[in-house]
Amino acid sequence: MKKFLKILGIGVIVAMLLFIINFVFNYNPSKVISLRYLVIGFGINVLYSVPIALSCSYYFEYLNTKVQWKKYMNQRVLIGVLGSLMVVMITVFIIRVFHKVVIDDYTFAQFLKTERFKFYFLCVIIASVVSLFFHFIFFYKAYQKNKIRDQKIIADMANAKFEALKNQLDPHFLFNSLNVLTSLIEENPEQAKIFTIELSKIYRYVLEHKTNSLVSINDELSFAKTYMLLLKMRFEDSIVFNINVDASIGEGQVIPLSLQLLLENAVKHNVVTSSRPLQIWIYESKGYLVVKNSLNAIKQSHFGSGLGLNNINERYKIIADNDVIVVQNETFFEVKLPIIKH
């Protein structure tokens, strides 16, 4: 019923347009135009336009089930246009019979005698307009459908890439953590036990956020502090942490494990000694969560070439409009993570 009313509305709109065009071209200033004349004129246009719209609509619906667009594109357009013209001519003939014989009280013989082809020519024009209208609707819907499909493919590809990047972290994180644990067992077995307990908490966080694209800054900072505790257990006074993050940005979001990866990079790429301790700052600046460390680089160390920073970069490219900013000079190395608020 909804579809029928929609097509009915289209027929009425076409009738109105034709009525206005006919009125403009046949307007005579000297002739008095009554309301009855306008109503009858519009009614006649409706009498023709609505059945034409209905017949064309059902014809195209039938055609769409029988002729596939992808397989018979050119033939489908030709069949659609020629077929709709044929359907319209038959529909118009039936309407003409009803108009002249039933309404105007002609005999069928009189109707055939007075019928002229020029009237059907006008109907062909109407049919062409209606046919083009239905083809336009179909192509528009097909375009929107393809656009949605393409967007879905892009989204699926991005999601697959994002998942692949996240899945890289599990073995990478575990491998590096076990390396730290191995070193600590040799240096301080008692501390190694505590390290193992804290490590289990960290890995629980990794597993809990494995499926998350983003985490709150509060959660990520809490996780980073636990990881810092493990680093302090290993390096003691050789590493110094400074955190200064306003509580108001705590509900902002960042990529999960981003802080841990940056802290890990800072330790991995720098000489860490008690005589020259590694200093690491975490703070907020102009919409970014900044991780900054003093620079005492290990020779032949290349910042940003490892898995950690590249992983963060790639994941931010998929999710955020802003890029990760990396700043390096002779005294410090700094990474700015965009804070995502929505």
Q: Is the pLDDT of residue 296 over 70?
A: yes
Listed residue (213, 203, 221) closest to 262, CA to CA: 221
Region 241-250: what's the mean pLDDT?
80
Using pLDDT thresholds of 50, 70 and 90, give the confidence band for residue 303. Answer: very low
Q: Whole-angstrom Cα distance, residue 80 to residue 62? A: 11
| Residue 304's pLDDT band (cuts 50, 70, 90) | very low
Query: Looking at residues 288-310, what average pLDDT do you find?
Result: 74
pLDDT at 317: 80
Q: What is the mean pLDDT of residues 36-47?
A: 79
Judge whether residue 49 has pLDDT over 70: yes
Sign of the dihedral defined by the CA atoms of residues 14, 16, 21, 25, in that order: positive
Return the HEC string of 131-195. HHHHHHHHHHHHHHHHHHHHHHHHHHHHHHHHHHHHHHHHHHHHHHHHHHHHHHHHHCHHHHHHH
Q: Which amino acid is present at 268?
A: K
pLDDT in tens, 115-155: 777 777 766 776 667 666 666 776 677 677 777 777 776 66
In the chain the domains, ranked by start, together with CATH numbers, are: 2-115 (no CATH), 154-338 (3.30.565)
